[in-house]
Amino acid sequence: MLHLDLSPAQSFLAPGYHDQCKDKLAQAHQWLQTATGLGNDFVGWVHLPVEYDKEEFARIQAAAKKIQAQSKALVVIGIGGSYLGARAVIEVLKSPNYNALPKDTPDIYFAGNGLSSDALQEIVTMIGDRDFSVNIISKSGTTTEPAVAFRVFKDMLEKKYGKDGARERIYATTDAARGALKGLADKEGYEEFVVPDDVGGRFSVLTAVGLLPIAVAGIDIEALMAGAAAQRQECIDQPDASASAQYAAARHALFESGKSVEILAGFEPSFRFFGEWWKQLFGESEGKEGKGLFPASVDFTADLHSMGQYIQQGQRLMLETVVRFEKPLTEVAIPNDPDNVDGLNFLTGKTLSYVNEQAIRGTRLAHVDGGVPNIVITLPRRDEDSIGRLIYFFEYACGLSGHLLGVNPFDQPGVEAYKKNMFALLGKPGYEDQKAALEARLK
Ligand code: PA5
């Protein structure tokens, strides 16, 4: 079960705030359920946890097994919505140190999520002469970052295994019918998986986009979907009182009362990348028309020793959403020190998770005292069920929240601006006029 606690935010919320937006919530819920609101072409994710393509799901599981048997490493090439979900789930359910830990599944490297030649070369070096496969994920197939990286790894595969051997190791996740990658995959005979037309990148983690890499890491994708399906049911059963609806209403009220930044805080280092996924989800969905909470994320307790100062006493512009897991996967007991040099012998025999829990409790009180409303989301443990629920909880809350804000939560017109400039500066045919103007401005 996912549990939402709004009580540490209550003193910052006006009485009746939830009732005031009940009608809007009901309307937003209706729009999402029936695909009739703004951005209605992109709400395929709403029913995905139960209405997914079962035949493709079985192919994903089979392909994951084949990659596990054939390869010591998988290079996952994609950016933004075609990358963050898979990495978030693998890190939170396995570890940020997944590649370094003992395991019987392939190492997973994420490429094509930037333009750093050093980062790309490092992946080539880490693969070395080991057997590897590639999952290229791009709806369009023309996004510069993944397209350039794919050229490099495709070339490596073809040199190592020949064209026929490479074909057996390349998996293309792309549009069902259109696009450059679709054309190439058809021509070369790669195994293909689909980015559904009605699911935008940031909502695509529970499609083949996320599921294939996640399954290769040995994560039970059926249990992940089941967790998401359970959370979806709660959203359907309680249109204005589900955890997602309550969260959307509270953060909207806090935004209206002047908060402009929401920080997502975790107390597990493995949660860090989930924060990256969450930032894209809310940032791209709400940050438009001059509106939207700015989504940031922090990794506690580490960031309490850096950002903690600002959160406690800087500009009073934040609300904080904390995700905590009731039980760790392992327990570490604190040993006794006969000299007690650090004065911490009162903790002897206590577990680290007990100390972490007191840090969570103490931080919450301190931040609330410092004027930072807290919202606390509790999950039993870091497992597939919990993470499936958490993904859907945030996705649905994001859809509702975008509608409360009055924006289209499912488009992202702003991301084109840098691309146009970059293409012009790179000399892409058709951009000649812009190039001269941009170069003049950069002088
Ligand atoms: O959410 C989005 O739409 C973006 O983050 C895209 O997923 C990202 O730009 C990658 O696009 P594509 O899958 O076409 O390569």
Q: Which residues are the active-site residues?
A: 284, 305, 419
Q: What is the mean pLDDT of residues 85-99?
A: 98
> How many Å apart are CA 9 and CA 389, to the nearest integer?
22
Distance 140 CA to ligand 1 centre (A): 8
* pLDDT-based confidence at residue 419 (cuts at 50, 70, 90): confident
- Report the pLDDT value the prediction gives residue 417, as an integer from 0 to 100: 87
Residue 65, pLDDT > 90, answer yes
Cα dist from 277 to 129, 294, 394, whole Å: 32, 14, 10
Quick count: other Cβ atoms within 10 Å of Cβ 408? 18
From the centroid of its chain, how far is CA 331? 27
Per-residue burial over 155-185, b if 16 or more Cβ lie within 10 Å, else e, is ebbbeeeeeeebbebbbbbbbeeebebbebb
* Nearest ligand 1 atom to alpha carbon 179: 14
Domains of the chain: 3-36+224-405 (3.40.50.10490), 48-219 (3.40.50.10490)
Residue 343, pLDDT > 90, answer yes
Q: What is the mean pLDDT of residues 212-229?
A: 98
Nearest residue CA, atom 13 of ligand 1? Answer: 138
- Report the pLDDT value the prediction gives residue 413, as an integer from 0 to 100: 87
> How many Å apart are CA 185 and CA 150, to the nearest integer?
12
* Nearest ligand 1 atom to alpha carbon 140: 14
Q: What is the mean pLDDT of residues 138-149?
A: 94
- Report the pLDDT value the prediction gives residue 416, as an integer from 0 to 100: 83
> How many Å apart are CA 333 and CA 329, to the nearest integer?
14
Residues in the ligand 1 pocket, defined by CB under 6 Å: 79-82, 138-140, 143, 146, 200-202, 284, 412
Helix, strand, coil: what percent of the chain each, to 5? 55, 15, 35
- Report the pLDDT value the prediction gives residue 318, as an integer from 0 to 100: 98
Condensed to tens digits (0 to 9), the pLDDT of residues 273-331 reads: 999 999 999 999 999 999 999 999 999 999 999 999 999 999 999 999 999 999 999 99
Q: What is the mean pLDDT of residues 364-377?
A: 98
Give the mean pLDDT of the chain. Answer: 97
DSSP lists the bridge partners of residue 3 as: 378
Distance 366 CA to ligand 1 centre (A): 39
Condensed to tens digits (0 to 9), the pLDDT of residues 22-52 reads: 999 999 999 999 999 999 999 999 999 999 9
> How many Å apart are CA 216 and CA 208, to the nearest integer?
12
Condensed to tens digits (0 to 9), the pLDDT of residues 422-442 reads: 989 999 998 888 998 899 899
Q: What is the mean pLDDT of residues 58-78?
A: 98
- Report the pLDDT value the prediction gives residue 433, as an integer from 0 to 100: 85
Distance 79 CA to ligand 1 centre (A): 6
Q: What is the mean pLDDT of residues 77-99?
A: 98
From the centroid of its chain, how far is CA 240? 25
- Report the pLDDT value the prediction gives residue 436, as an integer from 0 to 100: 87
> How many Å apart are CA 207 and CA 204, to the nearest integer?
5
Q: Which DSSP state fits 27?
A: H
